[in-house]
Structure 1
Amino acid sequence: MLSTSLSTFTLSLDDALHLLQRFLTSSNQIKQIHSVLLTTNALLASSRKTKFVYNTLIRSYLTTGHHKTSLHLFNHMLANQVKPINLTFPSLIKASSSSFSLPYGLSLHSQALKRGVLTDPFLPTSFVQFYGEVGDLRSSRKVFDEMLDPCVVACNSMLDACGRNGEMGSAFELFRRMPVVPDVVSWTTVINGFGKNGSHAKAVTLFREMVVVVTPSEATLVSVLSSCANLDRGGVHLGKQIHSYVMRREIILTATLGTALLDMYGKGGDLETALIIFDQVYDKKVCAWNAMISVLASNGRPEKALEMFEMMKVRNVDPNGITLLAVLTACARSKLVELGVKLFSSICGEYKITPTSEHYGCLVDLIGRAGLLADAVNFVKSLPFEADASVLGALLGACKIHEDAELGNKVGKQLIGLQPEHCGQYVALSTLKALGNNWAEAEEMRKVMIEAGIRKIPAYSVLS
C-alpha cells in the first residue's frame, strides 16, 4: 500500500508511471499519486514522459469509474500545452460515451482531427462506436463511410451503432455486404440487434444460419436465448434445442448463460428444468439468483422465491435493485404486505439501493393486490416525485383486480395523459367501465382507441 504521507515526497515521472500502472484499479492510490504530481508541478513539463503520465492517469480514472475526472484531465493537459497523441484519445472517447456527453465527444473528434491522429485506424472505429452509443447515428455513419478500408472491428462497431438506434434494416444490409468476412462478433451483434429491437424470429433465423459457418460464442447463445424467451410461439422449443447444443458441446453454464436459460424456461413455465439449471450454474452471481427468484415468483411459487432470497443472503451474495423487484413481486403474489414493506426498507437500507419508480410501482402493486386500495392511493400521494406510468399502471391493475371502477377511471385518465399511445390503458379502462355496467362508455373507449390507430397486442400462451 502507498503511504498516507506520500504527498510529502517528490515523484519522478518514471516513478509516477510505475506506480500508476501498479495501482491502475485502485482509486485512492491514483488520487494520491495525482495529488503529488500536481503539488510538485511535475505535470507542467511538456515531454514524451509527461504525455504518458497524463495518458495513464486518464486511463486509471476511467478504469475506476471517474469518467468526468478523465475528461477534466484532458482539459488540464491542453492548458499546460502538453500535446495529446493517438494513445490519449481512446480512454477519453470511452469516458465521453460513459457520460453520454455528445458535446465533449464532438470536441474530442475536433481535437483528433486537429492533431492529425485519425490515421490510427483504432480512433475512427472508436468514434463510430461513440456516436452510436450517444444516439448520433448520422455522425457514426459519416465517420464509417470516410474509412478507406474498414476492418472487421470497424464494421462491427457500425453494426452495433445501427442496432442501438433501431436501424436494423441498415445493419442487416451492411452485414450482408461487409468488405471483410464477418466474424463471430459480427453475427452476434446482428442477432442481438434483432432481439433488442423486437425482431426475435429474425434473430433465431440468423442464428440457425450462423451455426453452419461460425461457432457461436457465449454472448451469441445469451442473445438468441433471450429472443427464444420472447418469441410469440415455439420459443421454448427452440430454446431447448439451444440448451441441447450447450450440453453436447459441454459448455460451462456461467452465471450469464445460466441466467439466459433460466429466463427462457421460466417464461415457458418449465419450473422443474429451471431449478435443475440453477443447480448446475457455475459461480452463481447475483444475476442468476435474481432470475431464479423471478422464475419462482412468476410461476406460482412466491414462498419458495422468498426462501431463495434468504438462501442468497446466506451465501453472501449481495442483492441489487433487480433482486428487490423480484422479492417485492413474490410478496405481492402472496399478499404479504407487511413483509414486503419491511423487506423494501431493510434491503434499501442495508445494501444502499436507491429505489426507482419501478420499485415504488411494485410496492403499489403489493398494497393494491391485497385489496388495500385506499392505502395504495395514500402511498402514491406520499411519493417524493410525481407518479409516473409505472406507479399509476400498478394502481390501475389493482383497481381492475378488485373491480373499483370509480378509482380506476380516474387513474386510467391520468395514464392516458402520460401514455396516449399505449393500448393497455384503453383496454383496462374499457373493462372497468363494463364492470360498472357503463357499456356505452366502454364501447366508446375502444372506439377512441381504434380511431387513434392503437392496436391491442394479442395475448399468447406457450406450452412446453
Structure 2
Amino acid sequence: MPASSEFLLQFLQRFIQHPNQIKQIHSLLVANHLLLNNLQNSSPWKWRTTLLYNALIRAYLNISPPRCTLQLFTQMLAHGVIPNSHTFPPLFKLVSSPCRPLHSQAFKRGVLVDPFVQTSLLGVYGKLGHLNDACKVFEEILNPCIVACNAMLDAFGRNGDVGSAVSLFESMRERDVVSWTSVINGFVRSGRFSDGIQVFENMVTVGEVGMGCLVKPNEATFVSVLSCCANLDGGIGLYQGKQIHGYVVRNEALTVYTGTALIDFYGKTSCLESARKIFSKMIAKKVCTWNAMISSLASSGKEEEALNMFENMKLEGVHPNEVTFVAVLTACARTNLVEFGLELFKSMVSKYGVLPIMEHYGCVVDLLGRAGLLNEATEIIRTMPFQPDGSVLGALLGACKTHGAIELGNEVGKRLLELQPQHCGQYVLLSSLNADLERWDQAADLRKAMVEAGIRKIPAYSLTGSISFGSN
C-alpha cells in the first residue's frame, strides 16, 4: 500500500471520534485522488480504496447525519470501488426505514453469507419492526451463532412475539447474559412483568446448570428487571425490587445505570427516601440519573424539590434532555407555575437545543388546563407542528371536566373517540362530564354507544403466572 494512503488510513482509525481531523483527512484523500479506484491495479493492495471508504464510513457514522454517510457509500459505488463484508454492517445501523436497497446491494456483492453481515441485517429488520424479514434472514443462516440467536431474540421481543422468543431461547445450545436479558426485555415490552422477574430468578439461581455455571447479570439486566418490579402493582413488586437491590449490593458496585434504575424503581413505588439515599451515594451521575430523581420527586408530591433539583443539575453542568423537560414541566403543572412552565417550554429550543415532542406539548396543555386556561390550551393544540395524540387531547378533556367546560369537552371527546374508538376510559370520562352537569341523555347515549361497540370497563388485575425454562 502506498505510504500516503496507509498513513491516512492509520490517522482515520486513530481520530475516529474527532470530527475536524476526519474532515481534514477526507479532504486530503480527495485531493490526492486516493478515493478513485484504479481498475488496472493488480497489486496486493488493490483493496486499499475499499479499506479507505470503510474507514471513512465508520468515522462519519458518529459525527454526521445518516444521509452524509450514505452519500459516501453512493460515491463509493459511483467510483467503481467494490464494497466488502465490512462495508455494510455500519450502513445498516443508519437506516430508519426498510433497508431493502442495502440488502440488495449486499446480495449483489456476494457478502450475505458473512455471519456479521447477516446478524447486522437481522438486527436492523427487528428494530424497524419487520419481523418477517428478520425471520427470513435468520432462516438463511446455516449455523447461527449465539450472536445471531440473540439478535433474533431481540427482534421477537421488540415486536411482541414473546412466545417465539421463549421457544428459541429454550432451543439454544449456548446462552449468555444477552440471551437472558433479551427474554426479560421481551416480557417488559409485553407488559408481562411477573414473567420477566421469574426469568431473572431462574437466571441467578439456575442459569446454565448443564454447563456447570451461572450467568452473571449485567447493567442491562438490572435495568430491565427493576423496570418489571416498578410496574408491578401491589407489594410484590416492591419486595422483588428490594431483593434485587440486595443482590446488587452483594455482587456489584453501584454503577450509573444500575443506580439510576434503582432510583426510578423506588420513585415509582413511593419509596422516596430510598431513592434519595441512592442518589446521594452515587459519585458518578449522568443526565439519566438526574432525570430519574427529578421524576421521582415530581411524581411523589415534591414538586418544589424537583424544580430545585433541576436547578442543581444545571449548576453541576449537566445538560438537560427531552426526559428532563417532561419531568420539570409535569412539576410546573402540579404546582400551577404557569408562567415559569411556559418560559421553560419556550427556552427548550433557544437555550437548550431540545426540540419539543408530543409529551412536552401534553405537559403544557396539562399545565394550562389545570389553571383553567382552556382557550390557551386549545390554541397550543391548534398550533402544534403535528396532530395531537390521545395523551394531549386527554389532558384537555380532563381539564374540561374539572372546569365544567362541557361544550369544549364534548368536542374534544369526539376527536378522542375517533383516535381511540376502543378505549373505554374516553367513553367513561366523556359520559361522566355530561352526567356532572346533569346532561343525562348524552351521558346515557355514550354509555349505550360503549356497550354497542362491545367495549367493557377493564377491571384491575395482577399477573401471578410464572414461566419455567429447561436447561438444554
TM normalised by structure 2 equals 0.89
Structure 2 residue aligned with 1:430? 431
Q: Which amino acid aligns with 2:226?
A: L
Instruction: Choose which of 239, 244, 249 in structure 2 pairs with 1:237.
Output: 239
Mapped partners of 2:227, 2:128: distance in 1: 24
Q: Secondary structure at the match of 2:82?
A: coil
Give the direction of change, closer, same or farther, for the CA distance of 1:458–1:269 in structure 2 (3 Å limit).
Answer: farther
d(CA) in 1 for partners of 2:383 and 2:134? 44
Cα distance in structure 2, aligned partners of 1:151 and 1:91? 20
List alignment gaps of at least 5 residues for structure 1: 1-9
CA spacing shift, 1:435–1:226, aligned 2, 3 Å:
same
SS at match of 1:420: coil
The answer to whether the aligner puts 1:51 opposite 2:44 as a matched pair is no
Report if aligned partners of 2:306, 2:331 keep a CA contact under 8 Å in 1.
yes
Q: 1:417 to 1:315 in 2, by over 3 A?
A: same
Shift of 1:310: 0.8
Residues 149-177 of structure 1 deviation map (CA, whole Å, 9 limit, x = unaligned): 11111100000111111111111111111
Tell me, in whole angstroms, the C-alpha distance in 1 between the residues paired with 2:11 and 2:262: 43
| 1:42-83 Cα deviation digits (max 9, x unpaired) | 211342111110110111111324322222222222222221
Cα deviation, residue 334, structure 1: 0.7
Change in Cα spacing, 1:130 to 1:358, as seen in structure 2 (3 Å) is: same
Aligned residues: 445
Contact 1:405 1:435 in 2 (8 A): no
Question: Which piece of structure 1 moves more, 253-262 or 320-329?
Answer: 253-262
Unmatched tracts of structure 2, length 5 or more: 39-45, 208-214, 463-472
Pairing partner for 2:13 from 16, 21, 25? 21
* Contact 1:364–1:391 (CA under 8 A) maintained in structure 2: yes
Q: CA RMSD in A?
A: 2.0
Give the drift of 1:263.
Answer: 1.7
Superposition pairs of residues 158-197 of structure 1, within 5 angstroms: 158-178=152-172, 180-197=173-190
Deviating above 6 A after TM superposition, structure 1's stretches of 4 or more consecutive aligned residues are none
Equivalent residues of 2:92, 2:120 under 8 A apart: yes
Counterpart residue identity of residue 272, structure 1: E
- Aligned equivalents of 1:239, 1:65: Cα separation in 2: 40
| Among candidates 29, 32, 52, match of residue 37 of structure 1 | 29
Query: 1:118 aligned to 2:119?
Result: no
Question: Equivalent residue of 2:310, what SS?
Answer: helix
The higher-RCO structure (CA 8 Å, 6+ apart) is 2
Structure-2 separation of matches of 1:328 and 1:373? 17
Q: Distance in 2 between matches of 1:364 and 1:108?
A: 42
Q: Which residue does the alignment assign to 2:85?
A: 86
Partner of 2:148: 154
Mapped partners of 2:34, 2:398: distance in 1:
63
Query: Quick one: distance in 1 between partners of 2:257 and 2:453?
Result: 41
Do 2:409 and 2:433's aligned partners in 1 also have CA atoms closer than 8 Å? yes
Structure-1-length-normalised TM-score: 0.91
Deviations 1:222-281 (A, max 9, x none): 1011011111332112111111111122x2222322221122111211111111111122
**Identity percentage of aligned residues:** 56
Picking from 139, 143, 150, the partner of 2:137 is: 143
1:424: how far off?
Answer: 2.4
Structure-2 residue corresponding to 1:4? none
